[in-house]
Structure 1
Amino acid sequence: MIIKGDFLNKHAYLIIAHNQFDLLKKILTMLDDERNDFYIHIDKKVKDFDSSAFDGVLKHSNLTFCDRVNITWGDYSQIQSEMTLFKAAASANENYSYYHLISGVDLPIKSKDEIYSFFEKNYPAEFVHFSLDEPTHEFDGRIKYYHFFRKKRNLVNKALAQCLLGCQKLCRVDRLKNQNITVAKGTNWVSVTAAFVKYLVENEEYITKTFSHSYCGDEVFLQTMLFNSPFAKNLYMPHCGNNQLACARLIDWNRGNPYVFTSYDFDEIISSDAMFARKFDLNIDSDIVDKIFNYVMEKNNDTPAAYISNSSDI
């Protein structure tokens, strides 16, 4: 066990959220520790969001709400929100060894000490998932063509976008033809080192140029950047075979897109080797959230009753 106060590095938790703010409060409470800081991005589409509703939730960690991006599924704005978080944390005057990118509907399923120890013992491993052992040209189309009208997906724009895509294929447009890179794909939820985050931030101009017209680029940009960099040799699970443990997450794509865990999955969740699980929904099953919250808080030697009531308004 890591003794509080006896540590060299801190961890930065980067959270993307757009709803379920009571669940977000629980995430913060479960990970509240002087070794952890939080950087949160709230989708700009969320109206009347009041960050003061989170006052008092944390007693040990620092909390920063970052500049907000209007996120559209499949659009470059998803990458922008991630880069906003990476840049905000990287610019802080803190000695972060790991940056954990999670969503507001994920949960830690191990204690604070277990999570911190796991990553520190495996440093400098990069916890990034890949859909295939060896990336193929299957994913090139997400980047090699210009994907238009990602923000306004009405029927007319969808038809026009498909027409323009077809024209590009006929004209053999290839935005990658002068780049000697392999396009890789995987889940965008990762735990990566400070060195790799620095590499991403330093290459932001290239990222914008390469991925700004991509389709679902959030699933390829980080994997592609890592696979074509010196950091590829540091992958925690270089031949993951689509194993989500490569990113230290428990994510079930067989039962859903992804599957929303319920109380029936409690034993599976707590017996997993993963550090985090995704995903949960208070409207579908709040009991599983409470069970995991109480389980982790007990392992943290914290009192769940001390948690601020989830009746707070956002």
Structure 2
Amino acid sequence: MKHAYLIMAHKNLNQLLRLLRALDDARNGIYLHLDSRFREADEVDFAGFLNFSCFHSIPRRTVEWGNYGIVQTEFELLRAAVEEGPYRYYHLLSGQDFPIKSQSDIHHFFDGQDKEFIHFADPSGWDRVMQIRLNRFRRPIYQIYLLSEFLKRRIGIRPMIDFGFGSNWFSITDKFAKDFLAKRRWASRYFINCICPDELVLQTFVLTFGYENHLAAAVGTGDETASKRCIDWNRGGDNHPYVWRAADYQILANSSAMFARKFDTEIDEDILRRIEETLL
């Protein structure tokens, strides 16, 4: 069964084209959103660039860091893919992500799964995150979070909304994708005025609507296990993922993850070349 790749890109056309080439497979559908400021990509015939994959693009918008536009874009990509599907899995990637396994390896792995690959950060740090993300623009939402925490810890009753936090890059099944899309209005109601809502919406959906048992890894498990993404948060600084270099090749080659982020050919191009030549 086919897989859908949902890609959000905002810079570096040549790197994006390399990503598309790495995903170009008759077993894949590719759904692309280009930020409206990504003028370098205006004249590119992306459908003509691909030889095997079905290609779709969605209307361009300006996606600002930290606002709800990124969540809207994720929903629009997911909706476009679900309407063309069904697909076995839906993989959300940025234009700075890259596969570190071949398409045959990726399909073989996910076709043997029925779980959702969603990352949750260590719950011990959630209180501070929620204070910043939810309280910055809409104080009542933060009060709901405090109430939900009180109910969980003191009474044991499932709260009206159970907030979670983690990375927004996912690999999810068709049923989960449809269930998540059905809650688009719910997501807007709670998160439209938050900062960085893309790191809250999916995890909160999982916890609030009882999907914990659908996860591939327990809440709080690291990226490689939970989302099959190899991401280094320790060396990036300022809460940004580290940009992989050629010197890191062995880390990626030995990883159990299917994808890695992040890459930037303006910083190091050799790492992508080595992945293309030896891993894909």
Tell me the TM-score normalized by structure 2: 0.87
* Structure 1 residues 81-125: Cα deviation after superposition (integer angstroms, max 9, x where no partner): 111111111111x22011000110111000111001111112x11
Aligned counterparts, 1:89-128, within 5 A: 89-92=81-84, 94-122=85-113, 124-128=114-118
Give 1:285's aligned amino acid: D
How far off is 1:240 after superposition?
4.0
How far off is 1:55 after superposition?
4.3
* Structure 1 residues 222-268: Cα deviation after superposition (integer angstroms, max 9, x where no partner): 11111222332111011443444310000000010210001101111
Instruction: Return the alpha-carbon distance in structure 2 between the equivalents of residues 173 and 95 of structure 1.
Output: 37
How far off is 1:73 after superposition?
0.9
Give 1:118's aligned amino acid: F
Q: Is the 8 A contact 2:224 2:256 kept in 1?
A: no
Instruction: Return the alpha-carbon distance in structure 2 between the equivalents of residues 193 and 255 of structure 1.
Output: 32
Q: Which has the larger radius of gyration?
A: 1
Q: Is the 8 A contact 2:82 2:174 kept in 1?
A: yes
Aligned to 1:60: 52
Q: Is the 8 A contact 1:135 1:183 kept in 2?
A: no
Give 1:131's aligned amino acid: A
* Structure 1 residues 168-210: Cα deviation after superposition (integer angstroms, max 9, x where no partner): 58xx973556961221111111101111111121111111111
Aligned to 2:180: 200
Give 2:259's aligned amino acid: F
Instruction: Return the alpha-carbon distance in structure 1 between the equivalents of residues 252 and 121 of structure 2.
Output: 22
Question: Which residue of the other structure, out of 10, 13, 17, is the alignment partner of 1:18?
Answer: 10
Partner of 1:206, secondary structure, is helix
Give 1:275's aligned amino acid: M
Give 1:278's aligned amino acid: R
Instruction: Return the alpha-carbon distance in structure 1 between the equivalents of residues 142 and 216 of structure 2.
Output: 36
Instruction: Return the alpha-carbon distance in structure 2 between the equivalents of residues 37 and 99 of structure 1.
Output: 9
**Distance of aligned partners of 1:41 and 1:51 in 2 relative to their CA distance in 1, 3 Å threshold:** farther
Unpaired runs of at least 5, structure 2: 149-158
Aligned to 2:264: 281
Q: Is the 8 A contact 1:251 1:258 kept in 2?
A: yes
Question: Which residue of the other structure, out of 268, 271, 286, is the alignment partner of 2:251?
Answer: 268
Question: Which residue of the other structure, out of 213, 216, 221, is the alignment partner of 2:196?
Answer: 216
Partner of 1:56, secondary structure, is helix
Is residue 291 from structure 1 mapped to residue 274 from structure 2 by the alignment? yes
**Between the two proteins, what is the percent identity of the paired residues?**
35
Unpaired runs of at least 5, structure 1: 1-8, 148-164, 298-314
How far off is 1:23 after superposition?
1.3
Q: Is the 8 A contact 2:119 2:221 kept in 1?
A: no
Aligned to 1:227: 207
Partner of 1:40, secondary structure, is strand
**Distance of aligned partners of 1:290 and 1:278 in 2 relative to their CA distance in 1, 3 Å threshold:** same
Instruction: Return the alpha-carbon distance in structure 1 between the equivalents of residues 273 and 108 of structure 2.
Output: 25
Q: Is the 8 A contact 1:142 1:216 kept in 2?
A: no
**Distance of aligned partners of 1:146 and 1:206 in 2 relative to their CA distance in 1, 3 Å threshold:** farther
> What's the C-alpha RMSD, in Å, of the aligned pairs?
2.3
Moved more, 76-85 or 230-239: 230-239
Instruction: Return the alpha-carbon distance in structure 1 between the equivalents of residues 5 and 163 of structure 2.
Output: 27
Partner of 1:100, secondary structure, is strand
Aligned to 2:64: 72
Q: Is the 8 A contact 1:13 1:102 kept in 2?
A: yes
Instruction: Return the alpha-carbon distance in structure 2 between the equivalents of residues 11 and 280 of structure 1.
Output: 23
How far off is 1:215 after superposition?
1.1
Aligned counterparts, 1:116-265, within 5 A: 116-122=107-113, 124-132=114-122, 136-141=126-131, 144-145=134-135, 147=137, 168=139, 174=143, 180-256=160-236, 257-265=240-248
Q: Is the 8 A contact 1:17 1:42 kept in 2?
A: yes
Instruction: Return the alpha-carbon distance in structure 1 between the equivalents of residues 142 and 209 of structure 2.
Output: 25
Q: Is the 8 A contact 1:135 1:182 kept in 2?
A: no
How far off is 1:21 after superposition?
1.7
